């Protein structure tokens, strides 16, 4: 299966990173999608993360076009397809894999600038989400919309499974969330409504 390149790392920390791409390459990454980048630390390490924000920056031409009374279709197409409209994708790290074994904690080190970032394939997502230990990392990360991000990630993870397993997966995830958030019933209720099969 061919890997789908999302972009390249701009800046990083052990908690997460930002990657950049051009706007016309922004067709498949979405909020809550699983992504990975790799580094070699004596062994190959795949850092797994979730997309929690996509920023589309402007440039001087965009500002001029907004002020124009009427913008024709060829001009819009030229702006979106031919110009370098910068897009920044923010990712929170939720674990890593070494030799196919998943670890649900922060990676040993962040990726380097210009490292490629790929969408995780269904097999990677299925394997990584067999356990729910990454829930705490998402729920305790203050700079992300935690409930919405976790719900979107669980829906991505459910779709990576055969149809017959999707409902049971979401039910098991809901049970784990009930254990983790038993002290915060409004938050738990909100999350359960978001992931309801």
Share of the chain above pLDDT 70, in %: 84
pLDDT at 21: 83
SS (H, E, C) the chain: CCCCEEEEEEEECCCEEEEEEEHHHCCCCCCCCEEEEEEECCCEEEEEEEEEEEEECCCHHHHHHHHCCCCCHHHHHHHHHCCCCEEEEEEEEEEEEECCEEECCCCCCCCCCCCEEEECCHHHHHHHCCCCCCHHHHHCCCCCCHHHHHHHHHHHHHHCCCHHHHHHHHHHHHHHHHHHCCCCHHHHHHHHHHHCC
Share of the chain above pLDDT 90, in %: 62
Q: Which two tokens stand for residue 44?
A: 């190959």
**Is the pLDDT reported for residue 31 higher than 70?**
yes
Domain ranges of the chain: 5-195
Q: What is the pLDDT of residues 12-30, one digit of tens each?
A: 999 999 998 876 555 668 8
Q: What is the pLDDT of residues 33-68, one digit of tens each?
A: 999 999 887 788 999 999 999 988 766 666 666 667
- Using a cut of 0.75, tell me whether the model's pTM lies above it: yes
* 27 phi, psi to nearest 5 deg: -110, -35
73 band by pLDDT with thresholds 50, 70 and 90: confident
Instruction: Tell me the β-bridge partners of 19.
Output: 9, 89
């Amino acid at each position: 299966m061919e890997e789908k390149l999302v972009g390249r790392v701009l800046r990083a920390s052990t908690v997460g990173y930002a990657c950049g791409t051009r706007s016309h390459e922004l067709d498949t990454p979405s909020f809550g999608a699983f992504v990975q980048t790799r580094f070699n630390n004596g062994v190959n390490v795949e850092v797994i993360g979730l997309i929690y924000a996509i920023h589309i920056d402007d440039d001087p031409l965009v500002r001029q076009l907004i002020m124009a009374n009427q913008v024709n279709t060829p001009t819009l197409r030229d702006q979106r397809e031919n110009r370098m409209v910068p897009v920044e994708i923010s990712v929170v790290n939720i674990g890593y894999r070494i030799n196919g074994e998943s670890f649900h904690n922060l990676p040993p080190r962040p990726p380097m600038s210009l490292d490629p970032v790929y969408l995780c394939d269904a097999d990677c997502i299925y394997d990584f989400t067999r356990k729910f230990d990454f829930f705490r990392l998402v729920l305790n990360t203050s700079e992300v919309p935690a409930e919405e991000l976790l719900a979107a990630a669980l829906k991505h993870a459910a779709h990576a499974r055969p149809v017959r397993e999707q409902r049971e997966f979401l039910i098991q995830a809901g049970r784990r969330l009930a254990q983790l958030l038993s002290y915060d019933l409004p938050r738990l209720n909100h999350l359960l409504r978001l992931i309801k099969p």
